[in-house]
Amino acid sequence: MSESQQSLSPPSVPPKSGESPSWKAAYEKTLSELDSKKLLALLHATEAALYIRWQELENLPAHREERAQMEAAAKDLLAIKVHKLGWPDPCM
């Protein structure tokens, strides 16, 4: 890649020690939201942050814990869609 070209993908840099990945902050905000209109926007933002972070992570044992946390968060987001927003359950 030449110097004049820019990469479209984010760099694969894990968060600094003690620093919460952006998906976690978005996820925590989503969990505490009560307004259904705001909740939907937060859900979408959290899913986008999870997607971006998933692409950044390498499939190394060092990232196993965060990937497990992300999978649990994704399941929680689906539960919120079904139980709080009334979406149909895709698992049924």
pLDDT tens, residue order, the chain (92 aa):
444 444 343 344 444 444 456 999 999 999 999 998 899 999 999 999 999 999 999 888 899 999 999 999 999 999 999 999 999 998 88
pLDDT at residue 60, rounded to an integer? 85
In this prediction the pTM is 0.74
Task: Determine how many CB atoms are found less than 10 A away from the CB of residue 20.
Answer: 12
Residues 6 or more apart in contact with residue 83 via CB below 8 angstroms: none
Query: Is the separation of the CB atoms in 67 and 75 below 8 Å?
Result: no
The residues spanned by each domain of the chain are: 22-83
CA 47, CA 53: separation in Å to the nearest integer?
10
pLDDT at residue 58, rounded to an integer? 82
CA 48, CA 6: separation in Å to the nearest integer?
22
Q: Quick one: which of 16, 21, 40 has its CA closest to 30?
A: 40
